[in-house]
Amino acid sequence: MMKWLSRLELRARSKFYISNLMYYIIGGMAVVFLLDMLGFGASNLFYLDMNAVMRGQVWRLVTFIFLPPQTSFIFIIIALYFYYMIGNALESMWGSFRFNLYYLVGMLGAIVSAIISQAIWGMGYADNTFLNMSLFLAFAAMNPNFQIMLMFLIPIKMKWLALFDVALYAWQFITGGWDARIAIVFSLANLILFFGKDAMRMARAEIMTLRRRIRFKSNYRR
């Protein structure tokens, strides 16, 4: 982890974070899901819409984090438990302050992408899809061999799920419009900030290892 993060944590001490943050986020998602099921349409009032924000609905700058996955009642329970598990695990590994900071940077990234989208294309929409994905990717980066049962039947390690998701978002980045690209980049800013340096170091190490193997094979054939 970066040295600046340790210095920031020391300065903040124990004042500027929320312990057990995922309890509140998961609880909010569950409430919104239930309200939607009852026909109140809470999600329509909660997603990030910069046009609505400029009309005074400033709560949307925060409430978009409580949007639940659009799925069935059974799978919402599984999804919320999964978010709870990875969020709690990250907070246990990092501490509450760093986990709060990671989530906050992801939130700000989503807001910035909506502001840019509003300024350029007049759209300004965002939800928590990429923000939630950043939690999953952070967990997979720190626990690549953690195994889950996909569809309750297939054992699979987190690193393979993460690679699959990265490939999907890479394809979306390539084939999507600039609004989608901006949303992906800014909403995953926390992942880049926390893991970018380590990822580059690992990539360089892998490239150097590959070069040595190629050089060794070339010399061996001679």
The angle subtended at Cα 130 by Cα 126 and Cα 135, nearest 5°, is 135
At residue 134, what is the residue type?
A: S
Kindly state the DSSP code that residue 66 receives in the 8-state scheme.
G
88: tokens are 């709690």
- Partners of 49 in the beta sheet? 125
Which domains are seen in the chain, by residue range?
A: 18-221 (1.20.1540)
pLDDT one-digit tens code per residue, 185-205: 887 888 888 876 655 555 455
Phi and psi at 140, nearest 5°, equal -65, -35
Please report where in the chains the tokens 């502001």 appear, as a residue: 115
Lowest mean pLDDT among 103-107, 130-134, 163-167, 218-222: 218-222
Q: Are 106 and 187 in contact (CB under 8 A)?
A: yes
Residues 6+ apart with CB under 8 A from 60: 45, 46, 47, 48, 49, 52, 53
pLDDT value at position 203? 46
- 21: pLDDT confidence band, cut at 50, 70 and 90? very high
Query: What is the spatial distance between Cα 201 and Cα 167, in angstroms, rounded to a whole number?
Result: 21
